[in-house]
Structure formats: C-alpha cells, structure tokens
C-alpha cells in the first residue's frame, strides 16, 4: 500500500468547483500565474499512476505566431484526493479531488499557415528557446527527407536493426513523433517515446554535418 501526504495550498479549489466553467477554472486554478488568454482545457496525465482518484487538466493559452512556426504555453493542474492531503476541511469528502500543483509547460509547432493550429505541438524544456526548437524540428525534417547531407552516429540498445544504415535510421525515425525537445550547449535533442524504447536525436549547430542517434531501452520505473 502506498502511503503519501501532500501539503494543501490555502484555498485550493476542488476539481468539481472548477469544472463548471472555463472562466471559473482560470480564476481559481491560475490565480497566481502569469498566464495569457486561456482558450481551451484538456484532460492530462495524472501525476502518479499508483494513486487512485487523481485528475489532471491542461489549461492551454492562445498560441503566438513566430517565424516558421508557433509557440504556446499550457498550465498543467494536478488534483489529488483529499485523503492524501493535509489541512483539509473535515467537511470535504475524502475522495474529492483538490488542486495540488500547477506546472507551466512550453511547446512549439512548425507551420506556414496564416493562423496557428490547435493540435500537433511538441513540448520543450527550459534550456531551449522557441526559435531554436522550431529550427531543430525543421532541420530534423530536412534530415529525414535527405534535403541535407549528414552522417549518423547511431547507438542501438534494442538490437532491432535500427542502426543498420542511414536508410534504416530514416525509415525508423519517420514512424515516430517527437515527444519533447531538450536543450544543452550547442545541441538540441529531440526525444521520441516508443512502446518499449526511447529514441534521442541530437542536432548540434557546432557540428551540423553529424546527427547523433541513440535508441535505448529505458530503465523500468
């Protein structure tokens, strides 16, 4: 059995209270956050799969157009059952989901459309800016379609023939969708999550002729 206790934020709303309307949700959930206009709310992945009764919601800002793409922020709110939280009003039902945390997430998409799309964005971490992330996605697409000449340095822990040759690498990568963009020095790394494998593609502006690919089996959680 999992025993956890989380500190409750003062005046934290329940999920039921903020599901009534989007304006009410924005007012209660994002009251202390420097957010832009919120245009949508979506179900999200709960914080800890082992805890029952959780819920998560993404409050999505209106996208902002940039050269060659768009960026936006989403605010992920995690709701935890009252029985796991401290300092809860005794009148609150133990299974009521109460706001626990709100996390900012940034994401981008490549597009030439006149208006920013609503779907298809890729998360990016705090170490990479939007322009670099969009540039990495464009370069990755050029690599896949052989618009640029590169050499692959490939490491495959799955022993599936992923790294057999350049054609095999491109073929495998075309089956994947970027999950996250990570920064670090002069390199930008695209992360792809498969059913049993994790693929990392590093594009380094200091060495544009080389693409580092790692296809690994992540440790069991």
What pLDDT sits at residue 9? 52
Predicted confidence (pLDDT) per residue in 91-143, tens digit: 666 667 888 899 999 999 999 998 999 999 999 999 999 999 999 999 999 99
CA nearest to 214, candidates 163, 150, 160: 163
What pLDDT sits at residue 1? 34
Residues of the chain with confidence (pLDDT) below 50: 1-8, 10
What pLDDT sits at residue 89? 59
What pLDDT sits at residue 118? 94
- By the 8 A CB rule, do 51 and 3 touch? no
- Give the CA-trace dihedral at 76, 95, 21, 108, to 10 degrees: 10
Whole-prediction pTM: 0.85
Domain ranges in the chain are 6-119, 123-216
What SS3 class is residue 179? Answer: coil
Tokens of 198: 């994790």
What pLDDT sits at residue 129? 93
- By the 8 A CB rule, do 156 and 162 touch? yes
Tokens of 3: 């025993």
CA nearest to 26, candidates 18, 15, 34: 18
Bridge-based pairing of strands 69-81 and 187-193 is: unpaired
């Amino acid at each position: 059995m999992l025993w956890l206790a989380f500190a409750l934020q003062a005046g934290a709303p329940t999920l039921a209270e903020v599901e009534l309307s989007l304006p009410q949700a924005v007012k209660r959930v994002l009251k202390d956050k420097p957010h832009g206009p919120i245009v949508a709310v979506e179900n999200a992945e709960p914080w800890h799969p082992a805890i029952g009764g959780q819920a998560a919601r993404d409050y999505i800002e209106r996208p902002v157009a940039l050269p060659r793409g768009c960026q936006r922020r989403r605010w992920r709110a995690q709701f935890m059952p009252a029985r796991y939280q401290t300092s809860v009003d005794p009148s609150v039902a133990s299974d009521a989901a109460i706001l626990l945390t709100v996390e900012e997430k940034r994401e981008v998409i490549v597009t030439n459309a006149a208006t920013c799309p609503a779907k298809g964005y890729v998360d990016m971490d705090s170490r990479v800016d939007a322009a670099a992330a969009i540039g990495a996605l464009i370069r990755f697409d050029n690599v896949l379609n052989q618009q640029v000449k590169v050499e692959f340095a490939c490491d495959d822990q799955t022993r599936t023939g992923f790294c057999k040759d350049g054609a095999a690498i491109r073929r495998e990568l075309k089956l994947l969708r970027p999950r996250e963009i990570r920064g670090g020095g002069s390199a930008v790394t695209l992360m792809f999550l498969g059913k049993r494998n994790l693929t990392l593609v590093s594009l380094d502006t200091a060495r544009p002729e080389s693409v580092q690919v790692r296809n690994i089996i992540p440790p069991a959680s």
